[in-house]
Amino acid sequence: MNYLIVIAKGIYLITDAKSMGDTWAPEDKALYLAYALLCRTKGEAVTSEDVHDAWSLWATLHAPEHPSLVPFEELTTEVQAYDDTYRMAIAHVARMLPSSKLTPV
C-alpha cells in the first residue's frame, strides 16, 4: 500500500467508514486520493473550498449533473458544511503526518 493510499484510507476511515463500511467503493477511490493530495499539499491549511473543488473534479467524472457542481460560494450553508467535515478530517490526518512530508503552502 503506497503512502497516498494510506492517507486516503485515513481520511475515509474518519469520514465515511461508519456509514459505508470499512472498504470504499472502487469509484470513490479517486475522490479519497484527491483528498490525500490536499492533505499532502495543503496540510492543515486546507479549506472547505479546496475540498469542494476536489469533490467537484471527481463529480465531473462520476455525477456530471449533480446540483452541487457550482463554485463553493454558491452552495447553501448546509451543503458547505459537508465540505467542512472533510476539511477537518484532512487537517486531522495532516497533523498525524511528519511535518517534513508536507509540501509548504
Mean pLDDT by 10 residues, the chain (105 residues): 90 80 79 96 97 97 96 97 95 83 43
Residue 103 lies in a domain: no
Q: How far apart are CA 93 and CA 49, in angstroms?
A: 18
Residue 30 lies in a domain: yes
Write down the pLDDT at residue 27: 82
> Using an 8 Å Cβ cutoff, are 54 and 89 in contact?
no
Considering the entire predicted model, what is its pTM?
0.86
Residue 24 lies in a domain: yes
Q: How far apart are CA 42 and CA 18, in angstroms?
A: 26
Provide the domain limits for residue 28.
3-98
Number of domains in the chain: 1
Residue 88 lies in a domain: yes
Q: How far apart are CA 55 and CA 40, in angstroms?
A: 16
Q: How far apart are CA 83 and CA 26, in angstroms?
A: 21
Write down the pLDDT at residue 97: 86
Write down the pLDDT at residue 99: 59
Write down the pLDDT at residue 100: 44
Residue 104 lies in a domain: no
Residue 48 lies in a domain: yes
C-alpha cell at 64: 456530471
Q: How far apart are CA 12 and CA 29, in angstroms?
A: 9
C-alpha cell at 11: 481520511
